[in-house]
Structure 1
Amino acid sequence: MISIETFRKLALSFPDASEEPHFEKTSFRVKKKIFATFDEKNNRAVLKLNEIDQSVFCASSEMIFYPVLNKWGKQGWTIVELSKVRPEMFEDALIRSYQNVLGKK
């Protein structure tokens, strides 16, 4: 299980990462772009993955990783069930999300 403290520590360990409110969630950003959000009420994260990473994570653990159920999901936004995900898998996905957003112009 990933706690908000662990999530925050990992997300803010990336260069230039910041934490800001985003509606009723907490967002983590790099260069003003969101790479992750935390939904405390549902104990879920949403990460911005590229198409390949999204399909790999979702295929390997479909009860833990799954696309957001709208147009955002088709753009790579992926829900992560924090009560079920292994810490090392979450860290890998979070790194990929950060790198994906950082690489955008």
Structure 2
Amino acid sequence: MTPDQFRRLALSRPEVIESSHMGHPDFRANGRIIASLGSPDEGYGMVKLSADQQSMVCSSQPMVFEPAKGGWGRMGYTSVKLKAAKAVEVREAIALAVQNAMEKKPVRSKKRKA
């Protein structure tokens, strides 16, 4: 899978918009980051899953999914090795991430005081 294929899969969901965070493209649903590209490097994507979902995808597809490094991984951030990934696997992981985000209250942008 290429980064462009990952991007197309994420944006195929009507709830998802593309944005940017820390210089990397990210994908948001309900105001929450559900996926991103380019971290830790250009060969990776990321999906934000629950701990149980992360455990499930990492154990069933260890050549594709792994917890992100450090504390991010403990929060459900899951690295996707793009070269090894198939569209069906990534589509399912993105669907889970979108579902998780839609079940939470929307994130509202913070207005700064002058």
User: TM-score w.r.t. structure 2 length?
Assistant: 0.82
The match for 1:12 is: 11
The match for 1:53 is: 53
Structure 1 unaligned spans of 5+? none
Contact 1:67 1:76 in 2 (8 A): yes
Contact 2:3 2:82 in 1 (8 A): no
Identity fraction in percent: 32
Residues 9-45 of structure 1 deviation map (CA, whole Å, 9 limit, x = unaligned): 2211222311111112100001221000011743211
Decide whether aligned partners of structure 1 residues 16 and 88 sit closer, same or farther in structure 2, where only a CA change above 3 A counts: closer
The match for 2:84 is: 84
Contact 2:3 2:45 in 1 (8 A): no
- Summarize the alignment of residues 1-80 of structure 1 with structure 2, pairs less than 5 Å apart: 2-39=1-38, 41-80=41-80
Give how far 1:5 is off: 2.4
Q: 2 CA distance for matches of 1:8 and 1:78? A: 16
3-state DSSP of counterpart to 1:15 = coil
3-state DSSP of counterpart to 1:83 = helix
Q: 1 CA distance for matches of 2:47 and 2:7? A: 13
Contact 1:24 1:39 in 2 (8 A): no
Give how far 1:70 is off: 1.2
Decide whether aligned partners of structure 1 residues 86 and 71 sit closer, same or farther in structure 2, where only a CA change above 3 A counts: same
Q: Where has structure 1 moved over 4 Å in runs of 4 or more?
A: none
Give how far 1:49 is off: 0.6
3-state DSSP of counterpart to 2:99 = helix
Give how far 1:88 is off: 0.8
Q: Mean alpha-carbon deviation: is it higher for 13-22 or for 84-93?
A: 13-22
The match for 1:104 is: 104
Q: 2 CA distance for matches of 1:31 and 1:94? A: 14
